[in-house]
């Protein structure tokens, strides 16, 4: 890429979040999207984005392909960024994106949930920079091709590992900021990952298993807020054991945000609940399994989290069998 050339970006996973950021990046980049389940709709009609921040009824028709092999066969210059916005299912995405990763050149940007997700990319692509991010973007895609985005947008960015050179993280931050996103660069993104896990680790599996929004869970039983807080505290204890300090005040703040939505009937459908509703597999390892293993490695008590892992893992296996049938 030269100073007079737009960066070339391939987005892998054009769900709700991916499509919003693809639309933004298309303002400053040459973009291509790998679409899977929504390929036919995206190819024929593109996307409609309804956003409380960016506007309603935005029609966006990107260049789409069915696979990374198809993108690689176009015989175009190498991609500068591969932006991964698919579910964090271990052992899958690195092999799928391999055809479009140019060793020593392509930066791999992970727009994925959870902790402990980056190492498999580092192992698969040892000469490529890894940029890790944490997202705050409440969004749904229902039906396919129609994106509904709420009133929050933010992306936290850092190099992986934190000791790695950060020029690619800085460059991606500047790029997405110039496109209109709210982006912040961090020296160590892992603290931000653990902090978001305070929200994701309890709410995602519980809402998916209960088939309910977060506010419905809180209203189900007087002791429900205490259960959610207990799971959050286990996440905090695991994070602290790994060197990332999260205060009790932060735990209480995150719980209070959900409580505040009850009077205004503004419950949230976490991503796992959306996946279960549409019969897709869930990010059980990234959000629940990895924290449990990391807790046990430090002898941190995490009984509630481990129970959620067993239940969510069972649900994920059930969803996987249905998809394979």
Average pLDDT over residues 9-24: 96
CATH 1.10.1040.10 in the chain, residues?
191-324
Q: Identify the CA nearest to 46 among candidates 61, 57, 24.
A: 61
Query: What residues does 157 pair with on adjacent strands?
Result: 133, 185
CA-based end-to-end distance of the chain: 45
Is residue 106 classed exposed, middle or buried when 0-12, 13-18 and 19+ CB atoms within 10 A define those classes? buried
pLDDT tens figures, 117-175? 999 999 999 999 999 999 999 898 889 899 999 889 999 999 999 999 999 999 999 99
- The string over 76-104, giving b where at least 16 C-beta atoms fall within 10 Å of a residue's C-beta and e elsewhere, is eeebbbbbbbbbbbeeebbebbeebbeee
Rounded CA separation 212/270 (Å):
9
Q: Give the global pTM.
A: 0.94
pLDDT in tens, 40-99: 999 999 999 999 999 999 999 999 999 999 999 998 899 999 999 999 999 999 999 999
Helix/strand/coil for 317: helix
Q: Determine the 3-state secondary structure of 189 from DSSP.
A: coil
pLDDT band at 311 (very low <50, low <70, confident <90, very high): very high
> Contact at 8 Å (CB) between 11 and 33?
yes
pLDDT in tens, 262-303: 999 989 999 999 999 989 999 999 999 999 999 999 999 999
Write out the residue limits of the CATH 3.40.50.720 domain(s) in the chain.
Answer: 8-187
Of all residues in the chain, what percent carry a pLDDT higher than 90? 92
Token pair 């893992």 is found at 313
**Closest Cα to residue 34, out of 59, 70, 78, 7?**
70
Average per-residue pLDDT for the chain: 95
Mean pLDDT in residue range 237-252: 97
Instruction: Tell me the fold of 191-324.
Output: 1.10.1040
Q: In the structure, what pLDDT confidence band is assigned to residue 107 with cuts at 50, 70 and 90?
A: very high
| Amino acid 29: pLDDT | 97
At 142 the pLDDT is 85
CATH topology of domain 8-187: Rossmann fold (3.40.50)
Q: Is the pLDDT of residue 3 over 60?
A: no
Given this model, what pLDDT does residue 2 score? 47
Would the CA dihedral through 68, 70, 73, 79 be positive or negative? negative
């Amino acid at each position: 890429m030269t100073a007079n050339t737009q960066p070339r970006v391939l987005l892998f996973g054009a769900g709700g979040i991916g499509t919003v950021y693809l639309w933004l990046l298309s303002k400053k980049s040459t973009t291509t999207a790998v679409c899977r389940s929504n390929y036919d709709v995206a190819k024929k009609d593109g996307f409609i984005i309804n956003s409380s921040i960016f506007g309603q009824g935005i029609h966006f028709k990107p260049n789409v392909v069915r696979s990374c092999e198809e993108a690689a066969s176009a015989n175009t210059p190498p991609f500068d960024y591969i932006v991964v916005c698919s579910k964090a299912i271990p052992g899958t995405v690195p092999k799928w994106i391999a055809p479009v990763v140019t060793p020593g050149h392509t930066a791999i940007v992970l727009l994925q949930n959870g902790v402990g997700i980056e190492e498999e990319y580092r192992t698969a692509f040892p000469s490529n920079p890894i940029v890790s991010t944490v997202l705050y973007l409440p969004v749904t895609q229902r039906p396919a091709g129609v994106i509904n985005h709420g009133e929050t947008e933010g992306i936290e960015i850092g190099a992986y590992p934190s000791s790695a050179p950060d020029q690619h993280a800085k460059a991606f931050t500047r790029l997405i900021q110039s496109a209109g996103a709210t982006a912040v660069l961090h020296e160590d993104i892992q603290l931000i990952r653990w902090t978001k896990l305070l929200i994701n680790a309890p709410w995602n599996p519980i809402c998916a298993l209960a088939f309910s929004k977060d506010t419905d869970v809180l209203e189900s039983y007087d002791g429900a807020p205490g259960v959610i807080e207990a799971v959050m505290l286990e996440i905090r204890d695991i994070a602290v054991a790994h060197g990332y300090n999260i205060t009790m005040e932060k735990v209480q703040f995150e719980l209070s945000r959900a409580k505040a939505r009850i009077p205004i009937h503004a419950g949230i459908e976490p991503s796992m609940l959306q996946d279960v509703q549409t019969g897709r597999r869930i990010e059980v390892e990234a959000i629940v399994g990895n924290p449990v293993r990391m807790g046990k490695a430090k002898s941190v008590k995490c009984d509630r989290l481990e129970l959620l892992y067993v239940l969510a893992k069972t649900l994920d296996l059930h969803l996987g069998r249905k998809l394979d049938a």
